[in-house]
């Protein structure tokens, strides 16, 4: 979009927050870059230059605006809607892969040489993987500086910097302030509603996760709470809480909907996991989606339009771990939500690693493929065919035959899942929708979808409904959320009780 100068200028002049993250405005006369919705007086068009990423702005010598804080804007929705190499690379960079494995590790995951990957990222984003990762490290450092009392040296290494000197230089260059000055400004701003604030819980990091409005929290949090696995997830005090298995340790995240952001509180055993914990929380809640584009497309169907107009901004509830969701999808085949939770809870109790929750309530991590590799199928209270499906899936995930994650090729993942016994179209598509993040995944055989279709006057047969839904592409996964919302299942309602009943 940054090439469409006229459109960008209109967005800046109208301070349209819908375009935050789509592009960044660099002002040549001041040397700063802003988000489109910056509240400052818009500069003259002749002084504006538009870039596709914060990293490109920084490479061009611009520093972040202190007023609109463009580094905190939602991510580009393009990376949600695409599965090409650039989109997968951006999702991996967001997961901190460059900090942990370097650019060669990033390229290897995608099956490209480092030169090919560098060329593709520069062509589309104006910056290479190192610059993109550096911009992310700067943002992580800012969060830690402003929301914790950690010493600056610890923050430097937690954010992924190789040295304290590099950390200091980068923070000064990107924000035009020394790390100590950033912390002092945050302290002075503590009473401001726009400031990230500390929490009363020792060791907790509290921050705000931005999103593009509107966001309807009902089905998003309702789905997560209604399917919560005891010990791993819970709904408490207006927040969804769950344990996280992270590269350097484990964590616990609490997410609560607010009118203009998601309140996020993190407990981490290792601060180096902050970047990936934030990335997974955003992915879980689909916060980088573009609801305006989604709802505009779905409104073109006169039978869907009333649903969209009634409750716009529905998101697709995802997962923090694709392999975990695939296992839970198998456990949920042809059983009720309560039964699926019970089966998952038994797996967690038998194989999940214990964790300590500073606030109580959560006790274990969901077991990964390696922990489930020695699973005794006879110990599972499942039909024999379901046991075979589960053990085959776990083996395929453990040995890499099936790879599920933010870097997965959607078509390849579907093909490999379909080759496993017991994986029919419903299971494959629900994994594609909620684990892989394909916005066009569709469930024409789902009972809730078929009931909704019939009540709305849509074709209820799978083939006929699929043909009709071609007009909803590439947002059929969001159409499923609107169709599900016509029912009275608990997944459609924001919970108000302290905890979801067992």
Q: Which residue out of 8, 34, 57, 65 is catalytically annotated?
A: 34
Number of H helices, E strands in the chain: 23, 9
- 19-21-23-27 Cα dihedral, nearest 10 degrees: 100
Q: Which of 247, 139, 252 is nearest to 205 (CA)?
A: 252
| Residues with Cβ within 8 Å of residue 248, at least 6 apart in sequence | 269, 270, 272, 273
Distances (CA, A) of 187 to 148, 176, 467: 11, 17, 56
Give one DSSP letter per residue of 388-430, joined into a string.
Answer: HHHHHHHHHHHHTSS--STT--HHHHHHHHHTSTT--HHHHHH
Alpha carbon distance 135, 71 (integer Å): 8
Rg (CA), the chain: 23
Residue where the block lists tokens 């797996």 = 347
Question: Do the Cβ atoms of 478 and 485 come closer than 8 Å?
Answer: no
DSSP codes of every residue in 126-174: SS-HHHHHHHHHHHHHHHHHHH----HHHHHHHTT-S-HHHHHHHHHHH
Q: Which of 95, 286, 407, 446 is catalytic?
A: 446
- Phi-psi category of 404—alpha, beta or left, where left has phi over 0 and alpha has psi -120 to 50? beta
Q: In what order do the strands lie in the sheet with 32-34?
A: 48-51, 24-27, 32-34, 63-64
Residue 288: both structure tokens together: 């980088």
Question: β-pairing, 262-268 with 249-257?
Answer: antiparallel
Asked if residue 50 has a cis previous peptide bond (ω within 30° of 0), the answer is no
Residue 34 known to be catalytic: yes
Q: How many CB atoms lie within 10 A of CB 347?
A: 23
Q: CA neighbours within 13 Å on the CB side: how many for 141?
A: 33
Give the Cα separation of 344 and 399 in Å (integer).
Answer: 22
- How far from the centroid of its chain's Cα atoms is residue 158's Cα? 21
Sign of the alpha-carbon dihedral angle for 103, 55, 405, 209: positive
Q: Which residues are known to be catalytic?
A: 34, 446
């Amino acid at each position: 979009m940054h090439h469409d100068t006229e459109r960008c200028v209109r967005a800046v002049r109208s301070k349209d927050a819908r375009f935050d993250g789509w592009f960044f405005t660099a002002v040549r006369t001041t040397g700063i870059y802003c988000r489109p919705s910056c509240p400052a007086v818009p500069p003259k068009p002749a002084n504006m230059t538009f870039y596709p990423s914060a990293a490109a702005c920084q490479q061009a010598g611009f520093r972040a605006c202190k007023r609109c804080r463009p580094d905190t804007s939602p991510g580009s929705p393009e990376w949600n809607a695409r599965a090409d190499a650039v989109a997968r690379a951006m999702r991996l960079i967001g997961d901190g892969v460059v900090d942990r494995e370097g650019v060669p590790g990033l390229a290897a995951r995608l099956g490209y040489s480092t030169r090919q990957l560098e060329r593709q990222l520069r062509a589309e984003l104006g910056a290479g993987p190192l610059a993109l990762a550096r911009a992310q490290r700067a943002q992580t450092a800012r969060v830690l500086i402003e929301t914790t009392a950690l010493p600056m040296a610890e923050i430097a290494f937690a954010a992924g910097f190789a040295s304290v000197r590099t950390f200091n230089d980068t923070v000064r260059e990107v924000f035009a302030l020394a790390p100590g000055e950033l912390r002092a400004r945050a302290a002075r701003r503590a009473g401001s509603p726009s400031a990230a604030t500390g929490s009363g819980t020792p060791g907790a990091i509290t921050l705000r996760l931005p999103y593009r409005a509107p966001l309807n929290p009902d089905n998003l949090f309702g789905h997560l709470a209604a399917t919560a696995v005891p010990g791993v997830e819970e709904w408490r005090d207006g927040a969804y809480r769950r344990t996280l298995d992270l590269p350097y340790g484990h964590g616990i995240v609490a997410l609560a909907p607010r009118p203009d952001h998601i309140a996020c509180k993190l407990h981490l055993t290792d601060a180096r996991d902050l970047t990936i914990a934030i990335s997974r929380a955003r992915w879980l809640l689909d916060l980088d989606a573009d609801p305006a584009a989604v709802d505009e497309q779905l409104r073109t169907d006169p039978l869907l339009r009333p649903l969209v107009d009634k409750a716009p901004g529905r998101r697709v509830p995802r997962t923090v771990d694709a392999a975990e969701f695939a296992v839970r999808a198998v456990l949920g085949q042809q059983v009720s939500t309560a039964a699926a939770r019970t089966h998952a809870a038994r797996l967690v109790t038998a194989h999940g690693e214990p964790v300590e929750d500073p606030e109580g309530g959560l006790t274990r991590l969901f077991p990964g493929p390696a922990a489930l590799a020695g699973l005794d199928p006879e110990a599972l209270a499942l039909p024999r065919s379901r046991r075979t499906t589960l053990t085959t899936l776990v083996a395929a995930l453990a040995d890499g035959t099936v790879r599920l994650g933010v870097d997965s090729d959607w078509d390849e993942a579907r093909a490999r899942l379909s080759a496993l016994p017991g994986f029919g179209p419903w299971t494959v598509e629900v994994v594609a929708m909620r684990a892989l993040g394909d916005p066009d995944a569709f469930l024409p055989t789902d009972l809730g979808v078929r009931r909704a279709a019939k009540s709305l006057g849509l074709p209820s047969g799978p083939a006929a409904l699929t043909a009709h839904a071609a007009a909803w592409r590439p947002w059929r996964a969001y159409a499923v959320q609107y169709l599900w919302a016509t029912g009275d299942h608990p997944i459609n309602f924001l919970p108000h009780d302290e905890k979801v009943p067992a």
